[in-house]
Structure 1
Amino acid sequence: MRSGRVAALGGLVLLAAGCTGPGVPGLGAPSIPPTNPAAAEFDPTPAPAAMPEPDDEAADAANDGEGQSFRTNPSAAPSPSGEPAAIPGRETGAPGATPLPTPGVTGDGPVRIPPPKLSDYTYVFPVQGCKVSYARKLLVLPKTTIWAKRGCRFVAPVDGTVHEVNTVDRWSPATDRGQDREGKFVSIIGVDGVRYLGGHLDSVARGIKPGMKVKAGQVLGRVGNSGNAAGQATNLYFAVSWEAPADYWWVRRGMVKPWNYLDAWYDGNRTYSPRREMLALRKRLGATPPCTVLCASKQQPVRSRPTPQPTTKPKPKRTKKPEEIILTPQQQ
C-alpha cells in the first residue's frame, strides 16, 4: 500500500519537472488561468498540517483520487483573480456593502412620448393657478361645474374672439330668469368655431369686451359664485356650445358634454378638440333648437284686488207727510 503512495509522489515530481522543461510554459513563465476553473488539477488551498499517520487501510481509502479537486457548485469556483465567485441570488462582499458605480456608465432615463396630435388647435384647462375638481357626469344640463377657490383665474381655453360679456349680476331668486342664472360671465368663439362660456364669475377681467381677440391662457375673469350659485361654494360654470343669438340663452348655457375634453387638457393632450362633436350635434338639433330643460322663470304671485265699482249718490228717500187730524166741536 505504501508503494501506491510512493508512485503518486513520483508522478507529482515528473509533472513538475515537465512543466519546467524547455519550450513548455511552466513555473518560470507567467501562469495562465484555466478556461474552466472546475477542471483545474490542483486545489490552491494550502495543505493542512501534518496529522498522525493512520493505518494502511484507512490511508488507502483516503488517497483514492488524491490530487484532484471536485466542486459540486461550479458557480462557487474561485475566479481567475483568486476571489470567490458570486453565488446566484446572494450578494457578494462584506455584509451591507454597497457596490460602487462603474465610472462613465449611466442608465437610460425615462423616455417621454408626446401625445398624438388630434387636431390643428391647442387648448388649455380653463382654470389656472388653483387646485380644481369637477364632476364627469350629466347633472341636469350638459355643462360642468369646476370647483375652485374664489379669485382663481378663468382663462380662454383656446385662441378666439370675445362674444358676450356680462359684468352685472342680474339674477334674483324671486324671478330665477334663465338668462340670468350664470351671473357674471364671459363667452368666446374659438378659432375652432366652438363657443365656450365661463359663468358664476366674481369679476370680469379689465378690458375684456365683445369683439376683442384673445389667446389661449389669457385671463378673462375670476372665479366666484354669482348668479344662481349665490350662497354656494365658489366655482366656474363651464359650458361648450355653438354661436347663437342672445335670445337663445339655453344654447349658450351648454350643449356639448365637456368633461372628456377637460380631462384631456388637464392631463396634457392639448389638441383634443370638441369641434367635431359640436358640429354633429348642431346638425342634428339645428342652430336654434327649442328649450327643453329649466326653461321657465318663476311666476310672480298676483294679488287679487277687488274690482272697483262706480260710485253713485243714493237718492234721498221721500218721507210721507204726517196726516192732519182735524177735530170738530162735535167730535170733542
Structure 2
Amino acid sequence: MGAVLLTGACTQATGLAGVSAGSPSTSSTGTPEVTATIPAPTPEQQAAEQPPKGDDPVKVPPPKMSKYTYTFPVKGCKTTYQRKLLVLPKTTIWAGQGCSFVAPIGGVVDEVNIQNRWNPATDAGPDREGRFVTIIGDDGVRYLGGHLDSVAEGVRQGVRVKAGQLLGRVGRTGNARDTGPNLYFAISWKTGPAFWWVRRGMVKPWNYLDAWKSGNRTFSPREETLKLRGKLGETPGCAVQCASKRVPQAAKTPKPRKTKTEEQQIITLNPTIAPLRPQ
C-alpha cells in the first residue's frame, strides 16, 4: 500500500529545467504537438544578411579612333539633324536662329562668303548655301557650314582656327530662305571654287556627328574621305542639282525706223567748226 502512494507522488513531480514530466498533449491524429519560439535576429545578423552597396559605375572613355579631336559643329543649342540620304550626301542641322557654328576640328579657313547672292529666280548652284565658311581641317578634310546668318569677325581665308572656335551664326540664307534656321553641314575635300558641287558634300556626315555628339570625339572621316577622293578623282563632274534655272528674256523692243524725211533733217556737226547759222 505504501509503495503505491510513493509511485503516484512521483508521477506528479516536476521534470528537469522546467520541462513537465507529464505526457505531452496530442492532436486528434495522435501526433505530439510541439511549439517553439524563434528568437528575433540581432542588428549584427541583419547587417550581415544584406548585400553591401556597390560603388558608382566607372565611366570608361570610348576607344581612341584617330589622333584627331573633333567637336559637334553647333554649340550651346538644342539640335536635330537628318540621318539619311535625301538628295546630296550632306545633312541639315536644325538649330535656333543665331546659334553658334563652330569649327569641328582645328584647321585653316579655306573659303568665306559673306554675301547672300542666292536668287530664287535663277537658283544658281554656287549660291545655294548663302553665307558660308569652309575650313580644311588638320585631318586634310574640308568642312562646310552654310545658310549662315552672319560670319564671325576675323574669319577670313587663310586664318588658323581651333576646334570649337566660332565661325558664324546659324541662319536661313541661300535657299533656306523659306525654311526654319538651320546649318547646312557637309564633308568633302579641297578643290578650287569653280568645283562648287564638291564643296557642298561628298561624304555622308551623320555617323560622325553621332559620334562627336555622344562623346567619341576621335571618330574621324579622314579615311573614308581620302578613299572616296581616290575613287572619284579630286574634281569629279557634277551629277546632281547642277544647272541653274533659265530666266526667260524679255522680248526686245524694235527700234523705231526713221523715215526718209526725218533722215534728211539730221545734221551732223563737225566739232571743229561752229554750227551753221541761218543767213
> TM bucket by the smaller chain?
0.7 to 0.9
Instruction: Establish whether residue 141 from structure 1 lines up as the match of residue 88 from structure 2.
Output: yes
Alignment of 1:65-84 (within 5 A): 77-79=38-40
SS of structure 2 residue aligned to 1:62: coil
Q: Residue 305 of structure 1: CA displacement?
A: 3.7
Q: Residue 128 of structure 1: CA displacement?
A: 0.5
- Structure 2 stretches of 5 or more lacking a match? 1-5, 262-279
Q: 1:236 aligns with which of 183, 187, 205?
A: 183
**Structure 1 residues 201 and 69, CA, compared in 2 at 3 Å: closer, same or farther?**
same
Alignment of 1:247-266 (within 5 A): 247-266=194-213
SS of structure 1 residue aligned to 2:158: coil
Instruction: Establish whether residue 195 from structure 1 lines up as the match of residue 195 from structure 2.
Output: no
Instruction: Establish whether residue 218 from structure 1 lines up as the match of residue 165 from structure 2.
Output: yes
SS of structure 1 residue aligned to 2:25: helix
**Structure 1 residues 219 and 80, CA, compared in 2 at 3 Å: closer, same or farther?**
closer
**Structure 1 residues 3 and 238, CA, compared in 2 at 3 Å: closer, same or farther?**
farther
RMSD of aligned Cα (Å): 3.3
What is the rounded CA distance, in whole Å, between the counterparts of 2:8 and 2:256 in structure 1?
153
Instruction: Establish whether residue 279 from structure 1 lines up as the match of residue 226 from structure 2.
Output: yes
**Structure 1 residues 229 and 78, CA, compared in 2 at 3 Å: closer, same or farther?**
same
Q: Deviations over 1:98-136 (max 9, x none)?
A: x9xx9xx86411221111111111111000111111110
What is the rounded CA distance, in whole Å, between the counterparts of 1:149 and 1:213 in structure 2?
27
Q: 1:62 aligns with which of 6, 25, 29?
A: 25
Q: Residue 303 of structure 1: CA displacement?
A: 3.3
Alignment of 1:7-86 (within 5 A): 9=13, 11-12=15-16, 60=23, 62=25, 77-79=38-40
Structure 1 residue identity aligned to 2:181 = T
* Runs of 4+ residues deviating >2 angstroms: 2-11, 63-66, 68-71, 302-314
Q: Deviations over 1:211-231 (max 9, x none)?
A: 111111000000000011112
Q: Could you tell me which residue of structure 2 aligns to residue 127 of structure 1?
A: 74
Q: Could you tell me which residue of structure 2 aligns to residue 302 of structure 1?
A: 249
**Structure 1 residues 165 and 65, CA, compared in 2 at 3 Å: closer, same or farther?**
same
Q: Deviations over 1:182-201 (max 9, x none)?
A: 00000000001100000000
SS of structure 2 residue aligned to 1:203: strand
With structure 2 as the length reference, what TM-score do the two structures score? 0.78
What is the rounded CA distance, in whole Å, between the counterparts of 2:245 and 2:255 in structure 1?
29
Q: Could you tell me which residue of structure 1 aligns to residue 106 of structure 2?
A: 159
- Structure 1 stretches of 5 or more lacking a match? 17-41, 48-58, 87-98, 315-332
Instruction: Establish whether residue 175 from structure 1 lines up as the match of residue 106 from structure 2.
Output: no
Q: Residue 5 of structure 1: CA displacement?
A: 9.3
Structure 2 residue identity aligned to 1:188 = I
- Of structures 1 and 2, the one scoring higher in RCO (CA 8 A, sep 6+) is 2
Structure ID, larger Rg = 1
